[in-house]
Amino acid sequence: MASAQHIRLEPFQSLVMNSKFVFQTLQENVIQTLCMKDVSMMTPRRLHSILSLPHLQSLTLTDIGPVDMDDGETLTRQTSSVEKISVDGKDVISLWNLGLHTSCPQVKILELNYQDEENVSSDIITMACSPFNHLTHIHVKGFVLFELSTTLNDPVSFCDAVKTSCPQLTNLSLTRFKLKNEKAAKIIQLMKTHPPLTNIE
């Protein structure tokens, strides 16, 4: 664990998620940033406990294990203070099925992380972004290692998904991608037609 405002839990298997002591300890601190890696099992109850941290502004969930919907708790809609979420692209469907998106209506910054040879799907972009009415920043992080890299096979459908699902988007960031000049130019050209956008990097 780190400071009283910023906590990183890695790996998360070592933490007993059902422990009232753990979350009472977190609640007693003014936690603003929480980063969790290698979460062995995510359930509605566990996600509810995380999102109930009253001062939480930034939440990072990476390398999420299987999702268990049958823990006896229903995640109800709540107004969380979270304004930034960072998740793996492959976990969007399972985390959104748990209700992460409806529990954080104030999200302004969304980071989607991808591993080697994964393709950035326009369907995932739409699913990830469209629930957040206040979204202004999207950061899509790929992975490059020697010949392995994250791909963006269809820049046209990607840009259409971004423009449709993020009407207030001002910043679009694509990092760790091997994009040919023509494809990068195509993305810039297509995104220029999105009036709120002021920055592409």
User: Would you say residue 31 lies in a domain?
Assistant: no
How many CA atoms are closer than 13 Å to the CA of 26, on its beta-carbon side?
A: 24
Domain residues for 132? 38-44+67-200
User: Would you say residue 115 lies in a domain?
Assistant: yes
User: Would you say residue 10 lies in a domain?
Assistant: no
| Alpha-carbon separation of residue 114 from 86, 121, 162 (angstroms) | 11, 11, 17
DSSP label at residue 91: G
User: Would you say residue 26 lies in a domain?
Assistant: no
The per-residue pLDDT for 1 is 44
Helix (H/G/I), strand (E/B), else coil: 153 = coil
Helix (H/G/I), strand (E/B), else coil: 96 = helix
**Residues of the chain with confidence (pLDDT) below 50:** 1-4, 10-19, 21
User: Would you say residue 23 lies in a domain?
Assistant: no
Domain of residue 189, CATH code:
3.80.10.10
Share of the chain above pLDDT 70, in %: 80
User: Would you say residue 51 lies in a domain?
Assistant: no
Residues 80/56, Cβ–Cβ less than 8 Å: yes
User: Would you say residue 134 lies in a domain?
Assistant: yes
Q: Total domain count for the chain?
A: 1
pLDDT in tens, 112-160: 999 878 899 999 999 999 999 999 999 999 988 777 788 888 999 999 9
Identity at 84, one-letter amino acid code: K
User: Would you say residue 168 lies in a domain?
Assistant: yes
Indicate the pTM of the whole model.
0.84
Helix (H/G/I), strand (E/B), else coil: 187 = helix
